[in-house]
Amino acid sequence: MIPSREPDSVGPAALRRLVEAMPKAELHLHLDGSLRVETALSLARSRGVDAPATYGGMFQALVAPARTASQADLLTRFDLPIALLQDVEALERVTSELIESKAADNVKYLEVRWGPALHVRRGLSLGEGIAAVCGAAQDAAARTGTIVRLICTAIRSHDPAAVVKLAETATRFRDQGLTGWDLAGPEAAVPDPLAFERAFAAARDGGLRITLHAGEWGGAAQVRRALALDPERIAHGPGAADDPGLMAELKERGVTLDLCPTSNVQAGIVLSLAAHPLTRLHRAGVPVSLSTDDATVSDMLLSEEYVRAVEQNGLSLPELWAIDRHALDAAFAEPNLIRPLRQSFERWAAAVPELGEPDRGRPA
């Protein structure tokens, strides 16, 4: 049960306007789940990839229904985007467009993650693919003013030795904005992230900051397993809310859960947005951030996820604002980049009384 709070004083239209204007930070976003439908149509045509030829058909292929059977089912939505992203130009275009869409939604700090090893089917090397995304991200960041950092995602179903190579390659791009290391993919099929311990060590030794996906299957036990790799953040992990000891440990160690409620409903791991433990975890003092996971698979921008968190999950506006600012604290970016950003967030909030006193809404 979510404890009752006094309702926020703004109506639905005002809430949406406020959230759209709010400077936002998003930490959990996959490049390959975020292709624009028009772009996917154009890439399929120009690359000769077998795919739906109409907007409606492509929309159906890329956007997951409100609910699928499981994470494994949700993951099938990535097969076509990955087939379309096998050359430098396609990776550059999709990276640029995603950052532009996010900047238009007032996302001022963004971390984009992708699995470079999925994009080598047509002869690209790992290094060429990573360089393409890094270069396009830097250009789009300069154009839009949104600060962008990148996370290299390893895939659980891949050979652990190959994943070590990926980590070593990724560390060469640290000065090009690639600052994080992640593990994602079919969790039920490959539940133990410790199989990739050597790759995590290589990433860490190379200066990358550590996160990994956990709890899209298997609940709190999977979040515990992830903690064995000593991450700064965990992607998802809503099941932690079922385990008070684990919540205490996350709080104590300061491990942030990068939550994506809509995506979790689509993957069938929570019943509804109202039932998602986002608000409960935040009120219990567990560090959380709020993201969309995928712009296209979930067909939404971050403002929409924020609005839903207030309207359907019971988060107050000051709490939403505290979570938004916390994403800057947990960001895989250099402190000298974050400091001015935090100041600009605070300046904006100072003129918005609905967000409450500066420290209201922070976890106790």
Catalytic residues: 216
Smallest gap from Cβ 229 to Zn ion, in A, equals 16
Binders of Zn ion among residues 224 to 243 (CB under 5 A) are 235
Q: Listing from the earlier edge strand, what are the strands of the sheet with 147-155?
A: 24-26, 107-114, 147-155, 178-184, 209-214, 233-236, 256-259, 288-290
Which is nearer to Zn ion, 236 or 283 (by Cβ)?
Answer: 236
**Which whole-number Å values give the CA distances from 117 to 86, 127, 156, 158, 259, in the listed order?**
10, 10, 11, 9, 25
CB 2, CB 86: distance < 8 Å: no
Smallest gap from Cβ 244 to Zn ion, in A, equals 25
122: number of Cβ within 10 Å:
11
Q: Which stretch binds Zn ion (CB under 5 A): 34-42, 287-295, 308-316, 327-335?
A: 287-295
Which is nearer to Zn ion, 293 or 305 (by Cβ)?
Answer: 293
CB 302, CB 105: distance < 8 Å: yes
Closest CA to 256 of 327, 362, 171: 327
Binders of Zn ion among residues 180 to 209 (CB under 5 A) are none
Which is nearer to Zn ion, 235 or 290 (by Cβ)?
Answer: 235
Binding mask 293-332 for Zn ion (x = CB under 5 A): x---------------------------------------
Per the listing, tokens 């060429």 go with: 128
Binding mask 147-166 for Zn ion (x = CB under 5 A): --------------------
Q: Which stretch binds Zn ion (CB under 5 A): 3-11, 73-81, 286-294, 314-322?
A: 286-294
**Which whole-number Å values give the CA distances from 346 to 309, 324, 358, in the listed order?**
21, 11, 8
Smallest gap from Cβ 27 to Zn ion, in A, equals 10
Which is nearer to Zn ion, 170 or 257 (by Cβ)?
Answer: 257
CB 126, CB 88: distance < 8 Å: no
Smallest gap from Cβ 184 to Zn ion, in A, equals 6
Smallest gap from Cβ 213 to Zn ion, in A, equals 6
- Compute the chain's Rg from CA coordinates: 19
Closest CA to 313 of 219, 238, 216: 238
Which is nearer to Zn ion, 105 or 293 (by Cβ)?
Answer: 293
DSSP labels for 187-217?
A: TTTS--GGGGHHHHHHHHHTT-EEEEEE-SS
List of residues contacting Zn ion (CB under 5 A):
235, 293
